[in-house]
Amino acid sequence: MEQLKHLQDELLDSASRLVKPGGVLIYSTCSIDPEENEERIEAFLLRHPEFDIDPVNKYVPDNFVTKRGFYMSNPVKHDLDGAFAARLVRSE
């Protein structure tokens, strides 16, 4: 898991360099594990204060939105495969 978390952090950091001010970065996994999802985003935001969470409740039904504004499908709750997504916007 540690190697995977490190790789995910590297991918996020690399992708962030390609986002222009006002642009959007989407981070998505096919997992509901907090270590691969919320924890990766929280660590990313500490390293990149120029990004903010754009709550996904504007784009998906409320029952898929976490308290922090991320997308999460849960196999038990939604009868779908587990998935996570975060929409991040770079400051202008």
pLDDT tens digits for 67-81?
Answer: 999 999 999 888 899
Give the whole-angstrom CA distance, residue 45 versus residue 25: 12
Q: What is the CATH number of the domain that holds 29?
A: 3.40.50.150
Task: Provide the residue range defining the domain that includes 63.
Answer: 2-90
Identified catalytic residue from 4, 11, 26, 30: 30
Torsions phi, psi for 85 (to 5 deg): -150, 145
Active site residue 30: yes
Q: How many domains does one find in the chain?
A: 1
Percent pLDDT > 70 in the chain is 100
Global pTM value: 0.91
